[in-house]
Amino acid sequence: MRAVTPEQFNKLVAEALDALPEHFRALLDNVAIIVEDVPERGRHSHLASEADRDETLLMGEFIGIPRTKMSAWDAAGPSRIVLYQKNIEAICETEGEIREQVRLTVLHELGHYFGMDEDQLHNV
């Protein structure tokens, strides 16, 4: 397991967002990107065994209404994409692996923001 400072992790998130094509960045409206250590207690917050922890740890999640389902009547506030730094670090051995996992997690959660379900995301 490799760890980076919160500042370094936030920089990796910013790099992943900056690398998005401009037309996708322009569509990021009313969505906050947040970094937390781990999910709230009881929701994927445990560290799994070495063999299966990348399958059971929650790296990030989209919380809100997908852009494709949003209407003018939705007043729920901004959607959120939350990345879980300690969970991402738990499956990575190098800073390069953390960078790649952050990138993949950001893209995955943005897929949910843009209305894709898990099956669609696994087929991309």
Q: What is the CATH number of the domain that holds 34?
A: 3.30.2010.20
Query: What's the pLDDT tens digit per position in 36-63?
Result: 999 986 554 444 444 444 457 899 999 9
Q: Give the structural domain span for 109.
A: 6-122
**Residue written as tokens 């999640």?**
61
> Quick one: average pLDDT of 25-32?
88
CA–CA separation, 52 vs 49, rounded Å? 6
In angstroms, what CA-CA distances link 41 with 32, 38, 58, 78?
A: 22, 8, 12, 23
The reply to whether 82 falls in a domain is yes
The reply to whether 104 falls in a domain is yes
Window from 12-16, 33-37, 56-60 with minimum mean pLDDT? 56-60
Overall domain count for the chain: 1
The reply to whether 112 falls in a domain is yes
The reply to whether 64 falls in a domain is yes
